[in-house]
Amino acid sequence: MRKALVAALMLSSGIAIADEGQWQPYQMPSIADKLSERGIQIPAKQLADLTQYPMNAVVGLGYCTASFVSPQGLVVTNHHCAYRAIQYNSKKEHNYIADGFLAKKMTEEPSAGPNERLYITEAVTDVSSKVMSGLSDDPLKRFEEIQTNRKSLIKECESDENYRCSVRSFHNGLEYYLIKQLIIRDVRLVYAPPKSVGAFGGDIDNYEYPRHSGDFTFLRAYVGKDGKPAAYSADNVPFKPNSYLKINADGVKAGDGVFVAGYPGSTSRYRLTSELKFASDWLYPTLAKRYQLRIDTIEAMGDSDAAIAIKYAGTLASMANRMKKYNGLLDGFKATDIAGIKQAREDDFSKWLAADSQYQSYQAKFDQLENLLVKQHTAQQTRYFFENAQSSALLTAANQLYRLAKEKAKPDAEREEGYQVRDMKMFKARLKRIDSSFAVSVDKTLWLQDLNAYMAQENRVAELDEMLKIEDSSVTLSDKLDGLYSLTSLTDQAKRLAWMDADVNAFETSADPFIRLAVALYDTNMAQEKAKKTLAGQLSKARPAYMEAVIAYYKANNWPVYPDANGTLRITYGMVDGYQSKDALYKQPFTRLEGILAKHTGVEPFNAPQKVLDAINAKRYGSHKVESVYQDPASWLCRLFSCLDKPESFGSVPVNFLSSVDTTGGNSGSPVFNGKGELVGLNFDSTYEAITKDWFFNPTITRAVHVDFRYILWMMDEVDHADNLLKELELVRN
């Protein structure tokens, strides 16, 4: 029997179970039956407990997800999530991006950079009543009162400086939860494959399948000798996590139930059809066009200067990923009439409101929300080019520094978030980080592009126009920018940091051109911020009222009810499964080592390292070879269908695999667990057809792409000989 047929039969057997949902851990007991149906054996109550295995081993990076895999603080995540750490340690003499890196002992593990953090979520508490009680009807006051209540809760939570707390909105402001996280401030690079493994296929393969990417990297968490978090020091010792993940060296097969835990960034599933149309008609095309121009510029400049290529490697990869996602969303909206689907559901929702006396009054609130969204979209278009016109890294720093001087004149509790005492370490770190991904030539070129775009449209700001005004016809705008960069002191890190201690008068009397521009633009920026806050205050009443009715509507239809992703810890479940991507094109759930050989051209991004090619050609699979990635023909599947033919042998090491789990950006690096809660892979991407799941979940084509941990173990064992790390891991077999 062909493998595609076997997998297709498995799909048909499980298609009735929609794996939609990015669930808060506390919700796990409420979907215990669904977990059980998918073969998730670990108790739902255990998954709901953040102090128990495996949830206490899952950590955030602030932009990706990772997990502890040894008692010595060893952490595994995606290669693209650790890109900044690899870039930070790369120099012309030793380019770890191109060559990879392996520390054979702990004393060889370098800092991942002063800004790298690990966040361990220890508690999530419902504080909705504390945030929402006694709010004013005045929109701006309402917004400010919500912020004041949030900051008060955060301050109380952060009585220990080793913790970072936040209050996040769920269900568009209907609920608020206080998140308490332990911060690990000393993170080190341990093992990273070369980019030709970690990003094999590059942007061409991004969001595509079949994939053959070794998107993994190991880091390590360090703390002071007292066991408490501390800044980087040679005297620090490895952190001892409360638990670490067991790794199943036998992995999973097609049809196996899996679940993923991580920090998905943002989804828009409860957003209105009008919001989707705004995104598809203006926002996404506009953003994609700008990203493409910036990508082309950086690539061209990097081709002629290796130092620029290294400095902007992480920036370039991030922008390329976002641009392809926007294009994928636009293609998906065309391929599937998601706007039509959402509109039909909204029409049915309106009928349901009219038929239920308890919710009839909500139609007026629904209409009010639509009116506010029109205002929001208009304001966003009006601000867009002005905000981009301030995109220079130096002007951004100047804006933030002048804002800091203004905020420091207020009591700490009244300061804007990001400018309080609690924020100063990260504020300083961001100013330092500019140097790691900054070159005057690149910054100026990208800024000039944004300024030209600003000047070509009608929404102008007098203060900025004054700066751009050129009275000598022989001088170009490019010439004028050269003058700004030559006269500023903000390119010097020490002088840049010194501005953190300057008062308002120092800024307002400064001759530095970027500081002067920040001062000139301040009032306009603040007026626009006030308008945004006022509208946010109006939406803070309209959206929760809408969500209250929507949740009741979903429950009446027995649909899953979970909050949109917002960067907080979530769990999603599914099964290992392929999918029908086009007519007569079924994509199988696993890829193998031989696919690397087939794709290899020797030219980036299909330039696999020779040591990988040699190991594959020699069939040096070791103990990681898998004979079959499909269920035994004598299993339950063959009680439903004829299985007279033996499934074709796999006979290789699995590289990547697909599952139906519900993920999005931020889930990169998330551990993929089997039903027992053992680590079997790392999430790193989605298929192109699934990109629109941020707006609408389609269970028949939504697939996440994972690195199979058997491939990681093979790389560690047969290619890079990371024996010291293999000894740290706890491997189990079925």
Task: State the Cα–Cα distance between residues 571 and 19, nearest whole angstrom.
Answer: 11
Q: Is 74 helix (H, G, I), strand (E, B) or coil?
A: strand
Which whole-number Å values give the CA distances from 265 to 84, 262, 401, 664, 689, in the listed order?
A: 19, 10, 28, 7, 19
Hey, is 82 helix, strand or coil?
coil
On the CB side of 113, CA atoms within 13 Å amount to: 23
Pairing of strands 585-587, 590-592: unpaired
Both tokens of 576, joined, read 């290992």
The SS3 assignment for 716 reads helix
Please check whether residue 163 is in contact with residue 182, taking contact to mean a CB–CB distance below 8 angstroms.
yes
> What are the start-end ranges of the H helices in 589-652?
594-599, 610-617, 637-640
717 is catalytic: no
Question: 377 an active-site residue?
Answer: no
Closest-CA residue to 538 (of 154, 153, 146) = 146
Angle between helices 440-455 and 284-303 (to 10 degrees): 150
Asked about 212 being catalytic, the answer comes back as no
Distance from C-alpha of 42 to C-alpha of 31, rounded to nearest angstrom: 13
Q: Which of 280, 540, 659, 668 is catalytic?
A: 668
Residue 465's nearest CA partner among 381, 388, 386, 387 is: 386
Nearest to 682 by CA among 56, 116, 245, 89: 245
Contact 82, 192 (CB under 8 A): yes
Annotated catalytic residue, options 70, 79, 80, 166: 80
What gap in Å lies between CA 185 and CA 178, rounded to an integer? Answer: 21
What is the C-alpha to C-alpha distance for residues 128 and 564, in angstroms, rounded to an integer?
A: 17
Cβ density class 631-668: b for 16+ within 10 Å, e for less: bebeeebbeeeebeeebeebebbbbbbbbbbbbbbbbb
DSSP state of 188: E
563 in Cβ contact with 170 (< 8 Å): yes
Q: Which residues are catalytic?
A: 80, 215, 668
